[in-house]
Amino acid sequence: MNKSTAWRVVFGFGLVSLTTDMVSDGARSIVGPVLAALGASAFVVGLVSGISEAAGFLLRLATGPMVDRSRNYWGYTFAGYALTAVCVPLLAVAPLLGAGGLIAGSILVTVERIGKAVRSPAKTVLLAGAARVVGRGTGFGVHKVMDQIGAFSGPLVVSAIIAATGDMWTALLALLVPAIIALAVLFGVKHFTRVHALIEVAPESPALATTGFRTLPPEFYRFAASTAFTTLGLVGFGMMSFHLSASHLVDIAAVPLVFAWGMFAAAIAAFVAGRWYDRVGGSVFLAVPIASVAVPFLAFAGDVWSVIAGVTLWGFATGVQDSTVKAYIADLVSVERRGAAYGLFAAFQGVGTFLGSVLAGALYTDVTWLLSITVPAQAVAFALMLRAISRRI
């Protein structure tokens, strides 16, 4: 595969992610206010955010090895994107269900994240095959930039619709349009890659995929554990959006704009980190726990500019974790193990995300206690990361 053709695949997947993230992150940018409008407390918002994000990560423990065994990469990819396309617009119906609206909304938020668990290992294996030609750090970095353009523009669209109509539910329903576009583009990418036989996949022997997690290298487990501690020390945007709204720091229409800023920071971080990864290797990851340590303190501050600073650092951390780490795993693990590796890595992230979200919801009114947990977590993350990459610096 030449670089020109490989870039077409990278950009194709990037466009799918762009339009899908308009949908998913457009909804995520107001998930706190949406759940609050349905009757949720701060603890319930933290709990639902934690469960949904954890489901999106932990279920990859199953879907990753299933992808390796079946090699049905496209089937899992389409199914996952379809779940997002359906669940987000359906959130607009939740207020019509009365007392059951909060339950329905919580289920839809969670199932949307399950869609990510279904598609992510398969899509990442497909993308890694094309990215290897252009440089995996660069390829994943460019893909993440396009992904983040959607994550940036989706909240802007939601904010504009809320400002124009005063209604969150209309904004959620409008996200059906980019959802349909995403599925149409994905069909085009599938056709292009099959015609040109571009995707690197596992060998035909199913025996190669039956050992699951047992042959993953020790560096992988240290790296995954470090990421779990990093995500435990972060505060998810669900709680940040709740804080912005409940503290009346900004109008509800402006909450998606703050999220969009975080996604912009993530896009810049993903591209820069990807380029640096191709040059200097895994040492680029050491910056993540250092930058993340201040996020909980800033995110729950009493002024909007401190919260925005926290969102910026949160965006940096998530941008690197959602892009460059995938390049590192692809370089660390052979192709027939990558589905399992991506799935297990996501499970580590999911445990950290769940615990971090629940802690943030439970300790929302006592930041001192929250910091007493999250700051040591980042210190452990840094130590594990240094040990994980020491042989590859």
Name the strand (E) or helix (H) holding 15: helix 3-28
Average pLDDT over residues 178-189: 94
194 pLDDT band, cuts 50/70/90, is low
172's tokens: 């959620």
| pLDDT band, residue 210 (cuts 50/70/90) | very low
Q: Residue 199: pLDDT band by 50, 70, 90 thresholds?
A: low
Query: For position 58, what pLDDT does the model report?
Result: 82
CB of 375 closer than 8 Å to CB of 229: no
Q: Which pTM was predicted?
A: 0.71
Residue corresponding to tokens 């950290």: 352
Residue 208: its pLDDT value, please? 45
Q: What angle do CA 188, 189, 190 make, to 5 degrees?
A: 90
The yes-or-no verdict on residue 198 having pLDDT over 90 is: no
Kindly give the residue spans of alpha helices, DSSP state H, lying in 135-249.
136-165, 168-174, 176-196, 218-232, 237-246
pLDDT tens-place string over residues 97-108:
988 999 999 999
Q: Can you give the pLDDT at residue 76? A: 94
- The pLDDT score that the predictor gives to residue 346 is 82
State pLDDT tens for residues 35-93.
989 998 888 888 888 888 878 878 888 888 888 888 888 999 999 999 999 999 999 99
- If 0-12 CB within 10 Å is exposed, 13-18 middle and 19+ buried, where does residue 362 land? middle
Q: What is the pLDDT of residues 18-35, one digit of tens each?
A: 999 999 989 988 888 899
Domains assigned to the chain: 3-197+210-392 (1.20.1250.20)
CB atoms within 10 A of CB 124: 27
What pLDDT does 204 receive? Answer: 45
Residue 393 is predicted with a pLDDT of 52
Question: What is the model's pLDDT at position 23?
Answer: 95
The whole-number average pLDDT for the span 360-366 is 78
Whether residue 362 is predicted with pLDDT greater than 70 in this model: the reply is: yes
- Identify the band that residue 390 occupies on the pLDDT scale cut at 50, 70 and 90: confident
Q: Which residue has the tokens 């194709």?
A: 12
Listed range (65-74, 212-221, 304-313, 383-392) with the worst mean pLDDT: 212-221
Q: What percent of the chain has pLDDT over 70?
A: 93
Give just the sign of the alpha carbon dihedral 317, 318, 321, 327.
negative
